[in-house]
Amino acid sequence: MGKTAAITIDRMVTEDLDQVLVIENASFTMPWSRNLFLSEFRNKPVSLMLVALAEGAAREVMGYVVCWVFVDELHVLDLATRPDVRRSGIARQLVIAALAMGYSWGARKAFLEVRESNRPAFKLYASLGFAQTQIREEYYDQPIENAVVMMLSTDRFRALLSASVEGWKM
Ligand SMILES: CC(C)(COP(=O)(O)OP(=O)(O)OC[C@H]1O[C@@H](n2cnc3c(N)ncnc32)[C@H](O)[C@@H]1OP(=O)(O)O)[C@@H](O)C(=O)NCCC(=O)NCCS
């Protein structure tokens, strides 16, 4: 594992959105709008939104993740870290925190889609135990591209949390 930035992870609040949108716009060709994030805040029983905050007094957002949890499934919908702090373990910490919270809500498997060309994200997810399950042809726009569907099995979900969350108990 590479170096790990000292961050704290917290639930996203609407006051974080200005910073989140700067990261979102710098990260995706089809970024989520403010309204889409706001609709997630209203989707309370399902939506799990976390931010990684720099250590210090001000609320400085370094990255975020948005997931849905329904029944026993967690779906990662959006994940990005600030371009100037990438490769310091922030996305890894965000995804593990979301999985730990999702597990406590009942999730036992996790799913996501990633652009076929997005090697950084694919490698991140693979390093956490997600495995490729299928390809969705021409799923994305701008540019048109296949999606790789990845799944974290229940066994790998538990193994990851046992290995990465201090004091984790099933
Ligand atoms: C993908 C993304 C979220 C990774 O964030 P990050 O904070 O840099 O990731 P981490 O530092 O936690 O990396 C963890 C692991 O992921 C893999 N990884 C991350 N970035 C990588 C890169 N540029 N090249 C190769 N592997 C990479 C590595 O295995 C890395 O572990 P290592 O540093 O010990 O080798 C970030 O690059 C990003 O925001 N990209 C744009 C938005 C995006 O693609 N989101 C995902 C949509 S599915």
All residues at 6 or more sequence positions from 37 whose CB lies less than 8 Å from its CB, including other chains: 17, 20, 21, 49, 66
CA distance 132 to 129: 10
Please, what are the domains in the chain?
A: 7-164 (3.40.630.30)
Residue 52: CA count within 13 A, CB half-sphere: 26
Strand partners, 110: 74, 152
Q: DSSP labels for 98-161? A: HHHHHHHHT--EEEEEEETT-HHHHHHHHHHT-EEEEEEEEEETTTTEEEEEEEE-HHHHHHHH
Residue minimizing CA distance to atom 16 of ligand 1: 124
Question: Residue 16 Cα, ligand 1 centroid: separation in angstroms?
Answer: 22
- Check if 82 has its Cβ closer than 6 Å to any atom of ligand 1: no
Residue of 19, 62, 92 to mutate, ligand 1, most atoms within 8 A of C-beta? 92
Q: How far is the CA of 110 from the centre of ligand 1 (A)?
A: 18
Percent of the chain with pLDDT over 90: 91
Predicted model pTM? 0.96
Provide the 3-class DSSP secondary structure of residue 62: strand
Q: Residue 16 has what DSSP assignment? A: G
Q: What is the pLDDT of residues 21-78, one digit of tens each?
A: 999 999 999 999 999 999 999 998 899 999 999 998 899 999 999 999 999 999 999 9
CB of 30 within 6 A of ligand 1: the answer is no
Tokens read off for 108: 């036992």
Output the average pLDDT for the chain.
Answer: 95
Is residue 158 within 6 Å of ligand 1 at its C-beta? no
From the list 110, 117, 52, the residue with the least C-alpha distance to 82 is 52
Helices then strands (H, E): number in the chain? 5, 7
